[in-house]
């Protein structure tokens, strides 16, 4: 009898195994768009709902950046860690209740480490509770045109009610780049140090694919491996999203394939001449090496321009009605308005353009550009500047930009800032 019972149980186990439904593999979707126009270059299941996983943190940071711009938060402000925040499961920093975390460190913890506990610290600082913050996230999604997205938490931890689409995540990536060019550099960070440890980015595309400068990876079992990516080549920026990858490596290979196809076939639309944007011209000086984009099928190089480019200075138009910047271009024009220092030139370019658009009464004769500072033993730094202005104009411009939550400082040509 024991033998017969053992055989019967074995047969039953086999039947149950065969009959049991297999866990469904996460469904795949993707999209590639041209960043400036939003034109869709390729798409697969782009409107099908998926679990966003840690791509959710992009919206968390969008709302944090809004709070920074409004002055409700500052980068050096320290925030309290609640019991709820400290209880979040990995990935995490390992925060303890009652501890305090600086806003800047919390931002980097999200972009580099994808720390769930830090996400809740930021959410509670902005909205009081994570639940209230999630409601703000969904409301902002609707405002940005993300019609199929619902957020339930700040981190992307599993929740059946938290869904999005590849198209919506591409739209969010596009909004982050366009609306916060002065903060986008956080998504380019490859590492950050906190609590005596150095954390390396989960986004290996930053190192492995030429031209990628952000934005975010994500994974939970139900979603598979997700990534939203932005890349620049030949002055063109593409945004791509892959959701439902089987492994991190296969997801990254698929992303590289999508970007290669869009770049190499010339599908991407070249940057358009916009009447509301001043041309970005590289300017050389004794201390600066200008850059340009050199298109390549495998990487983006920032090569020195052989000849110096000197801005042609002309009087401001007589019909100008701007009154915020009364300083004229006449006289000393050896100063620059510096609005940021970045590890990649595309971020510097975006911020320089953004600053020029925000300034009232900026004479057309100035030059908006990016200059490079070499660093022995390290990668170069890219400085976003508005050049060819007087000291008075530079000081006045910085007052305007600081009021708009942008970094700014006047720079004398003879003393280029680091």
Residues taking part in catalysis: 54, 57, 114
Q: Which residues contact 205 (CB under 8 A, 6 or more apart)?
A: 212, 227, 229, 252, 255, 256
Q: How far apart are CA 257 and CA 199, in angstroms?
A: 28
From 68, 63, 70, 67, select the one nearest 139 (Cα to Cα).
63
| Cβ count within 10 A of residue 79 | 20
Strand, coil or helix: what is 169? Answer: helix
Structure-block tokens of residue 354 = 């953004």
Maximum Cα–Cα distance across the chain: 107
Phi and psi at 357, nearest 5°, equal: -70, -30
Tell me the C-alpha distance between 288 and 346, whole Å: 17
112 contacts 192 by C-beta, under 8 angstroms:
yes
Please answer whether residues 329 and 388 qualify as being in contact, where contact means their C-beta atoms are separated by less than 8 angstroms: yes
DSSP 3-state helix, strand, coil percentages of the chain (rounded to 5)?
A: 35, 25, 40
Give exposure, 88-109, as e/b (b: 16+ Cβ within 10 Å): beebbbebeeebebbbebbbbb
> In sequence order, what are the residues at sequence separation of 6 or more whose Cβ sits closer than 8 angstroms to the Cβ of residue 272?
36, 37
């Amino acid at each position: 009898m024991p033998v017969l019972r053992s055989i019967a149980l074995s047969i039953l186990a086999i039947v149950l195994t065969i009959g049991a439904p297999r866990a469904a593999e996460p469904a795949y979707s993707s999209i590639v768009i041209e960043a400036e126009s939003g034109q869709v270059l390729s798409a697969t299941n782009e409107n099908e709902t998926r679990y966003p996983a840690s791509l959710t943190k992009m919206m968390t940071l969008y709302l944090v950046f809004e709070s920074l711009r409004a002055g409700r938060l500052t980068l050096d402000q320290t925030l309290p860690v609640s019991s709820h925040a400290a209880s979040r499961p990995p990935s995490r920093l390992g925060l303890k209740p009652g501890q305090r975390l600086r806003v800047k460190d919390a931002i980097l913890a999200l972009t580099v480490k994808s720390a769930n506990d830090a996400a809740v610290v930021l959410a509670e600082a902005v909205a009081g509770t994570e639940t209230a913050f999630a409601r703000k996230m969904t409301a902002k999604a609707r405002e940005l045109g993300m019609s199929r997205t619902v957020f339930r938490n700040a981190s992307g931890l599993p929740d059946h009610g938290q869904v999005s689409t590849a198209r919506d995540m591409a739209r969010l990536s596009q909004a982050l780049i366009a609306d916060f060019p002065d903060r986008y550099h956080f998504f380019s960070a490859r590492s950050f140090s906190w609590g005596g440890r150095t954390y390396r980015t989960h986004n290996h595309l930053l190192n492995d694919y030429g031209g990628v400068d952000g934005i975010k990876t994500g994974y939970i079992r139900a979603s598979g491996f997700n990534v939203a990516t932005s890349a620049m080549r030949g002055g063109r920026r593409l945004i791509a999203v892959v959701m439902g990858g089987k492994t991190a490596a296969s997801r990254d290979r698929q992303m590289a394939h999508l970007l290669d196809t869009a770049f190499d076939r010339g599908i991407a639309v070249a940057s358009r001449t916009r009447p509301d944007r001043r041309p970005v011209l590289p300017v050389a000086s004794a201390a600066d090496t200008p850059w340009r984009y050199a298109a390549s099928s495998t990487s983006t190089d920032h090569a020195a321009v052989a000849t110096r480019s000197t801005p042609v200075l002309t009087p401001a138009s007589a019909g100008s009605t701007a009154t915020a910047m009364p300083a004229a271009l006449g006289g000393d024009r050896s100063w620059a308005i510096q609005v940021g220092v970045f590890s990649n030139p595309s971020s510097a370019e975006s911020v320089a353009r953004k600053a020029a658009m925000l300034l009232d009464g900026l004479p057309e004769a100035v030059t908006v550009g990016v200059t490079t500072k070499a660093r022995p033993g390290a990668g170069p730094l890219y400085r976003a500047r508005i050049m060819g202005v007087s000291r008075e104009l530079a000081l006045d411009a910085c007052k305007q930009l600081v009021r708009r939550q942008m970094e700014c400082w006047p720079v004398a040509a003879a003393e280029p800032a680091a």
